[in-house]
Amino acid sequence: MADRRITLEVFRYRPDGDGEATIQDYRVPYHEHWVVLDALNWIKDHADGTLSFRWSCRMGVCGSCGMMVNGEPRLTCAVFLKDYYPSPIRVEPLINFPVERDLVISMDDFLAKLQAVKPWLIRDDEEPPEGEYRQTPSQLAQYKQFSMCINCMLCYAACPEIDGIPDFLGPAAIALAHRYNLDSRDQGQSQRQEALGGEEAVWGCTFVGECTAVCPKNVDPAGAIQQAKVASTKDWYRHVLLPWGKR
């Protein structure tokens, strides 16, 4: 069989260099069963050891290998070369994030946003029990979809709002907050409301919906944000109509 090759146009940026960001072409062996991440690893091992990118599990679980593939935010472990061959494939770092080096983005801001919504079970009335908090299957079903997030950040790279509102909490963080608010074991909704209720949180979203379209785990962050808007509105009315009540 002839030695078939496919071109990868890879975004390069070195923070310690003096040049600007460039696109570098690599001719990579073409195999039907190869994904873009396989091609990047081939480049790293055989063509150019200086190329930097994040990856780990190779099976859509770890959420490390998210990049822009021909302009779309994708997990590179799940994008097959055969869907593009013989056309070239352009690989760039996730948009809306600062680039540290080549395809590696800085996730500091994202991690701060995740923490801001207190994504853990908050109880206000007792010490943790001896065993576990019990929950019925239908109580689990309320939030399970929103708990499947792998923090791959593709939703942030699909969101046009992030650029205009840099402090926008964003799809994954709001979905995670909503996940805990829906959890029957949690009592922390009022503590999350401040982070969740403002223009830089749920009301910054105009429901473009692309976060849901690009999510590799079917989390539906766009749906979570709209549901959080409804919950936030209810909370506001409760506060106005019953100011003496518990928030």
Partner 1 sequence: MRGPLRRPFPRDWFVRKGAYRRFMVREMTSVFIGGYIVFLLVWLYRMGQGPEQYQALVEAMRHPLAVALHMLALAAAMYHSITWFNLTPAVMPLRIGEDRLPNVVVAITMGYLPWMAVSGAILWGVLR
Q: Is 134 in the site for partner 1 (CB under 8 A)?
A: no
What does each C-alpha distance from 116 to 31, 119, 196, 224 come to in angstroms?
44, 8, 9, 17
Q: Is 23 in the site for partner 1 (CB under 8 A)?
A: no
Task: State the amino acid at position 240 in one-letter form.
Answer: V
- Rounded to 5°, the CA angle 137-141-143 comes to 130
Among 31, 54, 100, 235, binds partner 1 (CB under 8 A): 100
Among 162, 176, 196, 201, binds partner 1 (CB under 8 A): 162
Q: How far apart are CA 44 and CA 53, in angstroms?
A: 9
Q: Is 111 in the site for partner 1 (CB under 8 A)?
A: no
Closest CB 123 distance from partner 1, rounded Å: 24
Number of Cβ atoms within 10 Å of the Cβ of 88: 15
Among 61, 62, 223, 235, binds partner 1 (CB under 8 A): 223
Q: What are the tokens at 6?
A: 């496919």
Q: Quote the radius of gyration of the chain (alpha carbons, Å).
A: 21
Angle at which helices 108-116 and 171-181 cross, to 10°: 20
CA 184, 124, 109, 89: dihedral to nearest 10 degrees? Answer: -10
Region of 13-21, 33-41, 168-176, 192-200 interacting with partner 1 (CB under 8 A)? 13-21
Among 93, 170, 188, 216, binds partner 1 (CB under 8 A): 93
Total count of residues recorded for the chain: 247
Name the residue nearer to partner 1 (CB basis): 47 or 208. Answer: 208
User: Please, which of residues 63-92 interact with partner 1 by CB under 8 A?
Assistant: 71
Among 5, 206, 234, 239, binds partner 1 (CB under 8 A): 206
**Biggest alpha carbon distance in the chain?**
78
Among 95, 116, 122, 165, binds partner 1 (CB under 8 A): 95
Q: Which of 95, 204, 83, 109 is nearest to 154 (CA)?
A: 95
Name the residue nearer to partner 1 (CB basis): 123 or 206. Answer: 206
Binding region for partner 1 (CB under 8 A): 13, 15-17, 21, 71, 93, 95-100, 106, 137-138, 140-142, 160, 162-163, 206-210, 212-213, 220, 222-223, 226-227, 229-230
